[in-house]
Homo-oligomer: A and B are copies of this chain.
Amino acid sequence: MIQAGIIGGAGYTAGELIRILMRHPEVKLDFIYSTSQAGKPVSSIHQDLLGETELTFSGEINPEADVVFLCLGHGNSMKFLQENQFSDHTKIVDLSTDFRMAAEDHSFIYGLPELNKEEIKKANLIANPGCFATAITLAILPLAKNGLLKEDVHINAVTGATGAGTSLSESTHFTWRDNNFSAYKAFEHQHLAEIGQSLKSFQPNFSSELNFIPNRGNFSRGIHCTAYTRFDGSLEEAMKIYQEFYGDAAFTFVVEEELHLKQVVNTNKCLLRLQKFGNKLLITSVLDNLLKGASGQAVQNMNLIFGFLETQGLQLKATYF
């Protein structure tokens, strides 16, 4: 049993981590640090836990914890780590954007197991990928691995309202979002940088454009992504490349059936489907933005670091309908 801590306990990703870790057979959830909620029952915020747990939010951290997950707003992780010290053996998994781009001033490993499994196993510091970044990168990474990204990639993805976080805002107000749809941050989403970094780690000469239009969907959870680009081989060749690449992936599967979002909601899975039209390869990917796109992947990284079964605590029952 390892001791785990969560920093910033009131948001969606913290809530999902709590739900997973309190049932994880190898983990003791040692503390959930929240300055704003300190002393209150965790079930007062994450109210599905009523009756199930006596956990309370803590105003103090345990610097000796074996693993600490940072669920802070983007920009705050770096500040938190400057102001708080953990022991040498403490592993840090940061869910913000702060350390996703490699830089000389930090040694965080980008925590996408399909890309970096061996480095993750040895890492002390993990930068957990973004939700759109995970869905898009997994859709096209096998092409980059084989040096096959030759022209622009055209990407359209839609995310649920949990993607916008717990803060109240007009576009997450029920009367606005219900039965609505809208695009935002077209061509300029902040996840493009980490996607490009991952692709170039395999195909350094990749210089085409990633044309990405994100959309707000009127559902709570999940990302549905379509991406297409030129691919001169056959569908069978594409399938072979993808199946080989994901052959040992614990949660990412290439399937032949038409995909829909609810296949993966409330799971840590990413499903991929390939289709060929003319000289284009279309890849569809679906995942749960809060699990494979955030907290589930964070636990998957923890499992790899501590040598647990990669799927431990993550074989979740899909809601499905």
Query: Which of A's residues lie within 8 Å of B, judged by CB?
Result: 12, 15, 19-20, 23, 44, 46-52, 154, 156, 158, 160-162, 166, 168-170, 172-184, 186-188, 209, 211, 213, 215, 217-222, 224, 226, 228, 253, 255, 257-267, 269, 271, 275, 277-278, 280, 282, 284, 315-321
Contacts and interface: CB of A to CB of B under 8 A. Distances in A.
A186 B277 contact: yes
Contact of A178 (B44, B184, B220, B277): B220
A299 to B, nearest CB: 11
Nearest to A172: B174
Given A173-B172, A317-B19, A255 B181 contact: no
Copies of this chain present:
4
Give the 8 A-B CB pairs with smallest separation, nearest first. A51-B253, A48-B318, A168-B168, A182-B260, A179-B219, A187-B277, A156-B156, A175-B321
A30 to B, nearest CB: 19
Contacts of A257: 44, 47, 50
A319 B280 contact: no
A262 B224 contact: no
Given A50-B253, A278-B187, A179 B179 contact: yes
Given A48-B267, A255-B51, A284 B183 contact: yes
Contact of A182 (B48, B51, B261, B280): B261
Contacts of A315: 23
Nearest to A50: B255
A303 to B, nearest CB: 16
Given A266-B266, A267-B48, A269-B51, A320 B183 contact: no
15 contacts: A48-B320, A50-B263, A162-B175, A166-B175, A168-B169, A176-B321, A181-B219, A181-B261, A182-B260, A187-B282, A213-B226, A217-B218, A220-B321, A265-B319, A319-B319
